[in-house]
Structures are given as C-alpha cells and as structure tokens.
C-alpha cells in the first residue's frame, strides 16, 4: 500500500485531494495539518471514518514533530500543499507567510531529504516530493501577452506570491544540489465546494445571500484563469504518479474571466436558484479601492501537462460554477434552517466529484 503525506490536507485544495484519493485509490493518507483558521474538518468527514486516513496535527515549521511523523508512517511520497494563501492577509501581515511558506517548506525539504537518504532499493526509487504552487509566482500579464508557461520568468508582486516563489526555488535547489526527486505544479485560481469564505466566489455568494454589498476591487477588470478544485485534484494525482522528476507542470482551467464577470455570473445563478424579493443580486455590487500592487491578468498554458500526462479539465467554468453555487446555497440553507445540524449531514451535500 502506498503511503502518502499530504501537508495542508484540511485546507480547500488539500481536502479535495484527500477525498479524490480516498475514492480512487487504496492508498494510506496521512494528513499533516496545523489546523489554522483555513482548515475545515467538515470537508473530511467521509475520509475520517476510514482506517486508511490519519490526521497528524503538526506545524510544518516544527522540524522535530515532522521528523517524528516521517519515522512513524514511512511515506512513499509527500504532496506539499500547506501554505498561507490569501493575498490580502499577506499584505497586512507578511510575517506568517514568510514563516509558513518559506521556512516551513525548507523544514519539510530537509526532513524529506534525510528520510530519503536513509531509504534503499525500491522504496528509495519510488519516493517523490510533490510541491504544489501557484501561477501568481509569474507576476501578471498584459492583455495581449501569451499565457504563462513553465519557462515564464518569475516576477511575484505580493508578499504571498513572493513567498511561494521562494518555496519553488528551494524545491528546485534541493533537487539540483541534493538530487531529491521532486515535481512542481503551478495552478491557477481554484474554486468549488468547501472553499474558505474569504475567497472571491464564496465571499460573493455569502454576502449576496445575507443582503450585503458585494465589494469588487478597482474596476473589476482584473482577469484570472479559473480551475475547478476537483479537476485540480485529479491533475495533482496524475502529476505525482506520472510526472517526470525535476519537472514543472502548469495546471489551469482554460477559463479566463474578469473579476466583475465572475461576480455577475454568481449573481445570475443566485437570481435563478434563490430569487431575492429586493431585485437582482447585481444591484448589491459596489466598487472599492483597489488592492495595492494588484495583478491585472493571469492565464495558464496547459500544453505540457496535457501532452505529457494526458490531463484536461472536465469542467467548464459555467458547469463548475453552477455546482459550486448550488452547493453553497444548500449549505447556507441547512445552516440557517437548523444551527445544530450535524456536521456529517452537511458533508453529505457533495459526493467525491463535487456534485450537489
């Protein structure tokens, strides 16, 4: 049985990966998570009931604790997702991002390196360290620039993206210098069920349903490529199991939209699913002062992962967004109908593919 460490497995993307692997493999999953504000154990109710799933509540910056987890479970691979990821929080308080994203990655790399050196035979040959990163490390694009590829120079804009760029460089250095067997993926904006409410799409859904303003930065023309989280989980699995050592793979949804377009699509779905007596939800949109250093456009070129690993996203933005909004509306309804609703019932709103 393959034993996989997933750092940050109680986070939005991490929990989607756990659910995918618990459904589609017979692997033993060790979820290494500090359980910060961004963690959500509700998203792991199904996995937690399995003997193949174990939670290690550990800070990746705690070298002694990480070493103990390696010693106890003897992993065949590590998928490193644990990170501070909210740009606004990185602007107001960058220290946590430096500590978790840079020092934490260093600590994990060093522990993995010493563990890998101690292995022999097939166990050593099989070991992989998969580092999960973001397209924000590339900076931003002008309107007519080609999409980010794996060779696009790094030009991070925020403390968050700079800390992730730093972690990417560390992983490559540990491969080049120590020959640690690594793969790196850089993904576009994720969305889907169980995303933390501080992110754009769940923020807009929750505020709209609460009758509050829908704040949009600047003129709302900042463009992003959107990737449904279940598609991302599948891509990460394919990269870990089929990707070439030392290689980087960009993962995008091929869904490029401006922020204001996304907000209006959310409003249109809410108008359809839960019409407001006050009128259309777009009337709640307000424009606020832009974020400092706000990147204007991201776009991902998927050619490498498609050609080498055969991965393509299954969801269009419209199909994935409909599933996401439908799920959020049902969860919102359950919470407000009965505040004491058992957590397991809320977890059953979605199955392993995210269908409501």
Read off the pLDDT band of 339 (50, 70, 90): low
pLDDT at 345: 38
Tokens of residue 84, six digits: 């501070």
3-state secondary structure 82-93: CCCCCHHHHHHC
CA proximity to 31, closest of 48, 52, 6: 6
Average pLDDT, the chain: 94
List the strands of the sheet with 182-187, edge to edge: 53-56, 28-32, 3-7, 77-80, 128-134, 182-187, 248-251
Q: Are 315 and 230 in contact (CB under 8 A)?
A: yes
Q: What is the mean pLDDT of residues 182-190?
A: 98
Out of 88-92, 154-158, 170-174, 339-343, least confident range: 339-343
Alpha-carbon distance 67 to 60, whole Å? 10
Q: Model confidence over 206-224: pLDDT tens digits?
A: 999 999 999 999 999 999 9
pLDDT at 173: 98
Alpha-carbon distance 137 to 140, whole Å? 9
Read off the pLDDT band of 246 (50, 70, 90): very high
CA dihedral 177, 238, 77, 243 (to 10 degrees): -20
Cβ neighbour number for residue 287 with a 10 Å cutoff:
13
Alpha-carbon distance 241 to 248, whole Å? 14
Tokens of residue 111, six digits: 């522990």
Hunting for tokens 């009965």 — which residue is that? 338
Q: Which residues are catalytic?
A: 135-136, 160
Q: Model confidence over 276-320: pLDDT tens digits?
A: 988 999 999 999 999 999 999 999 999 999 999 999 999 999 999
**pLDDT, greater one: 350 or 227:** 227
Q: Are 115 and 174 in contact (CB under 8 A)?
A: no
Q: How wide is the angle at C-alpha 179 spanned by C-alphas 21 and 150, nearest 5°?
A: 65
Q: Domains in the chain, please, with CATH? A: 3-189+228-253+298-315 (3.40.50.720)
The whole-model pTM stands at 0.93
Read off the pLDDT band of 343 (50, 70, 90): very low
Cβ neighbour number for residue 340 with a 10 Å cutoff:
4
CA proximity to 81, closest of 56, 57, 108, 50: 108
146: part of which helix (H) or strand (E)?
A: none
pLDDT at 57: 98
């Amino acid at each position: 049985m393959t034993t996989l460490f997933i750092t940050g497995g109680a986070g939005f993307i991490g929990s989607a990966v756990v659910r995918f692997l618990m459904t589609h493999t017979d692997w033993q999953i060790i979820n290494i998570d500090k359980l910060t504000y961004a963690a959500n154990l509700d998203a792991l109710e199904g996995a937690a009931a399995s003997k193949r799933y174990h939670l290690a509540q550990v800070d990746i910056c705690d070298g002694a604790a990480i070493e103990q987890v390696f010693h106890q479970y003897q992993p065949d691979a590590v998928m490193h997702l644990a990170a501070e990821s909210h740009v606004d929080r990185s602007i107001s308080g960058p220290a946590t991002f430096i500590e978790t994203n840079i020092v934490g990655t260093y600590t994990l790399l060093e522990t993995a390196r010493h563990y890998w050196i101690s292995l022999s035979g097939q166990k050593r040959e099989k070991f992989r360290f998969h580092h999960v990163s973001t397209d924000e490390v590339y900076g931003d694009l002008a309107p007519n620039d080609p999409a980010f590829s794996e060779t696009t120079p790094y030009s991070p804009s925020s403390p968050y993206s700079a800390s992730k760029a730093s972690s990417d460089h560390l992983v490559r250095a540990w491969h080049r210098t120590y020959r640690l067997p690594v793969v790196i993926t850089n993904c576009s904006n994720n969305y889907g069920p169980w995303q933390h409410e501080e992110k754009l799409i769940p923020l807009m859904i929750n505020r709209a349903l609460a009758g509050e303003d829908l704040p949009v930065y600047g003129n709302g023309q900042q463009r992003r490529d959107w990737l449904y989280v279940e598609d991302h989980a599948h891509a990460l699995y394919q990269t870990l199991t089929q990707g070439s050592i030392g290689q980087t793979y960009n993962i995008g949804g091929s869904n490029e939209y401006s922020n204001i377009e996304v907000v209006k699509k959310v409003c249109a779905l809410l108008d359809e699913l839960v019409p407001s007596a006050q009128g259309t939800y777009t009337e709640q949109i307000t424009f606020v002062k832009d974020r400092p250093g706000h990147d204007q456009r991201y776009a991902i070129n998927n050619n490498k992962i498609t050609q080498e690993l055969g991965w393509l996203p299954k969801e269009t933005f419209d199909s994935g967004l409909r599933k996401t909004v439908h799920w959020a509306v049902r969860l919102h309804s359950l919470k407000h109908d009965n505040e004491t609703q058992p957590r397991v019932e809320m977890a059953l709103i979605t199955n392993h593919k995210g269908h409501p």
